[in-house]
Amino acid sequence: MYVCMCHAVTEAQVKQQIDDGAQTPREIAKGCKAGTDCGSCVRRIQALLGEHGARPCPTARLAAKLGLAEPEQPAAQAA
């Protein structure tokens, strides 16, 4: 599935950038140009960053509310 239509960047490519150490949309952009044109994909990129624990992202909660991403999972409870 494409995340960034302007640069034909897929969700898998963004996840690879995160696995390679990207922690912000700017770092994702450096790696694959996603988010550097119209900017409409930046919220989805932020949500992916939040989903994959790259960085706590308040925008991920908003993206979940808007149905753009899965809701954050609560942290594991200590027994």
Q: Which positions lie near ligand FES, rule CB under 6 A?
A: 4-6, 34-41
| Least gap, CB of 76 to ligand FES (angstroms) | 34
The neighbour count for residue 32, using CB atoms within 10 Å, is 20
- Comparing CB distances to ligand FES, the nearer of 39 and 71 is 39
- Comparing CB distances to ligand FES, the nearer of 4 and 60 is 4
- Comparing CB distances to ligand FES, the nearer of 16 and 71 is 16
Note whether 19 and 39 are within 8 A (CB).
no
- C-alpha to C-alpha distance for 61 and 48, rounded to whole angstroms: 11
